[in-house]
Structure 1
Amino acid sequence: MARRTGFTLIELAVVLAVVGLVLASALQATRVMGEAQRVRDTRAQLAEIREALLGFAVANGHLPCPAAPAATGAAIGVEDRANAGGCNREQGLLPWATLGLGQTDAFGRPFSYRVSGYFADTDPATVGGCSGAPPPAGVSFALCSSGNLTVRPAAGAIETLALNAVAVVISHGSHGPGPLQPGGAGDEAANADDDTAFVSHDRTEAAAGVAAYDDLSDWLPPATLLSRMLVAGRLP
């Protein structure tokens, strides 16, 4: 009897199916690992941004204004400040060029940045934002100054993660939308609109009645900024 050589079509189909499953699993594992690395890199960027904002405040006596999302040329990434000293906008892009940082997060998107106006305004008529002792010369806020930003664990939740925050920085992750862009859903939409309320919680995948969420965020409490200014001798 002749000895059979090679594979039958059925055997080849089985081998190809197995190889396909192995490759699909490997690709999925690579995607998950890559996503996790981008999350770690972005969290490191957020920590660097916090230090850059604190350093800017110590050096200049105020926080930077947001950059304009539609800026072009030399204005890209530069704080959008009015001639009178106030910010032309309280929410926009992180002024990465002003702070000497990179332009985007690890997902390739610009960071959103919102600031409480009194902490960035250099107009002598409006600095301070409180009725206590006025700020010293060259500083836009006083020890009694408080921010106006709120961070919650979900849009509309009663519980708060932060009250009276001075500034909030958002990475919009791989889902998007980007800063001040329409098209987001659920809690991601809350971080892309132009108001003082933000959301921060762990990543969630889309499910029945629940939109996906992969934003990353950090915020600057007033106590953190004021204590850094005190240590630096910028506040009495």
Structure 2
Amino acid sequence: MNQAQSRHFFAPRQRQKCVGFTLVEMAVVVTLMAIFLTMGLGLLQATRESAAWTQTTAKQERIKLALIGYLRSNGTLPCPDATATGTPPTGVKGTAPCLAALGRGVVPWKDLGLSAADVQDGWSNFFTYRVANRTPATSSNWSIKTGAGAFSINELTVPLVTFSLQERNTAGVLTTTPLSPNPVVMILSHGKNGSGAKTVGGTFNAAPAGADELVNANLASTTFITRSPNAVAASPGGLFDDLVAYMTPQDLLQPLITEGTLRACVTYCASPAASCTTVNPIPVGAYPLVCQ
């Protein structure tokens, strides 16, 4: 080995430059990944919440159509399924007249041709269903069509028994002016928190903390409150995420009159030869109505 070769052999080799992330760079990457993951989870949660609200309102509309169909076939509305607390609902209507507790319960899905899932909101709790059914004899009962207090077609414009609907505006003031005509059917979702709702197991969720939700969850209530969702407990009326749907007499009867399936008042007349007259005419049709 000559001198030149020896110098080359024993010369220190040049170190290769290391390529990679420093600890600071790794920390930045991890932080960014955490931020993006949090944003993604938030977006996913918001999407799910929006879907639950949309699904809930869509189901309420489907129940309305089913109630119109039931009225078309039977001339009355079904009583709620008022299965005892702790027992899973059966989907079968209660016995008319549905007074007291039978006036409020689960939508009787079997009698309406629906499934159990159809009468659960987007958070898998049962809708609360209420139908006008009060006494005394001077009050109407939409679950019966004969006898004292029976419902009649002439109640389209001036129903004798109704529920009142109140609304709390953006200023926090609760309005007291009722709808005209007032609702005779209420279909209520107790929202994401499910407070006061009946579960698939037949039990009730804990009572609401908010004053407005508590009114809606009251078993004997004939007044219902609607307002924008609010998660602030100290706001007027407290926490609120209920979705309140309703049907007036015209919502129920006008589709049947328009399509011609409610042929005069055949369902309500005493005999085929009888006539029905009214002081407050139905928006479509002439009077007197002769049963056909």
Report the TM-score, using the length of structure 2 for normalisation: 0.67
Return closer, same or farther for 1:12/1:94 CA change in 2, 3 Å cut-off: same
* Contact kept? 2:128, 2:188, Cα under 8 Å: yes
Equivalent residues in 2 for 1:204-215, closer than 5 Å: 204-206=230-232, 208-210=234-236, 211-215=238-242
Q: Secondary structure at the match of 1:7?
A: coil
Q: How far apart, in 1, do the equivalents of 2:233 and 2:55 lie?
A: 27
Q: Secondary structure at the match of 1:165?
A: coil
1:107 correspondence with 2:131: no
Return closer, same or farther for 1:201/1:161 CA change in 2, 3 Å cut-off: farther
* Aligned equivalent of 1:15: 29
Q: Secondary structure at the match of 1:29?
A: helix
* Aligned equivalent of 1:183: 207
1:25 correspondence with 2:36: no
Q: How far apart, in 1, do the equivalents of 2:179 and 2:227 lie?
A: 10
Q: Secondary structure at the match of 2:246?
A: strand
* Contact kept? 1:168, 1:217, Cα under 8 Å: yes
* Aligned equivalent of 1:172: 190
CA positional deviation for 1:169: 0.2
* Aligned equivalent of 1:135: none
Residue number among 85, 93, 98 corresponding to 1:87 in the alignment: 98
Letter in 2 for 1:107: W
* Contact kept? 1:169, 1:218, Cα under 8 Å: yes
Q: Secondary structure at the match of 1:42?
A: helix
Letter in 2 for 1:193: N
Q: Identity of counterpart residues, as a percentage?
A: 28
Residue number among 143, 154, 170 corresponding to 1:143 in the alignment: 154
Mean Cα displacement is larger for which, 171-180 or 158-167?
A: 158-167
* Contact kept? 1:204, 1:212, Cα under 8 Å: yes
* Contact kept? 1:94, 1:112, Cα under 8 Å: yes
Residue number among 214, 217, 227 corresponding to 2:254 in the alignment: 227
Return closer, same or farther for 1:33/1:162 CA change in 2, 3 Å cut-off: farther
Q: How far apart, in 2, do the equivalents of 1:110 and 1:58 lie?
A: 25
Report the TM-score, using the length of structure 1 for normalisation: 0.81
* Contact kept? 1:119, 1:166, Cα under 8 Å: no
CA positional deviation for 1:9: 2.9
* Contact kept? 2:123, 2:194, Cα under 8 Å: no
* Aligned equivalent of 2:68: 54
CA positional deviation for 1:153: 0.9
User: CA RMSD for the aligned pairs?
Assistant: 2.6
* Contact kept? 2:97, 2:141, Cα under 8 Å: no
Q: Secondary structure at the match of 1:191?
A: helix
* Aligned equivalent of 2:148: 126
Q: How many correspondences in the alignment?
A: 221
Q: Choose 1 or 2 for highest CA Rg.
A: 2
CA positional deviation for 1:7: 2.5
Q: How far apart, in 2, do the equivalents of 1:186 and 1:60 lie?
A: 38
5+ residue gaps, structure 2: 1-14, 134-139, 199-203, 266-288
Q: How far apart, in 1, do the equivalents of 2:149 and 2:35 lie?
A: 63
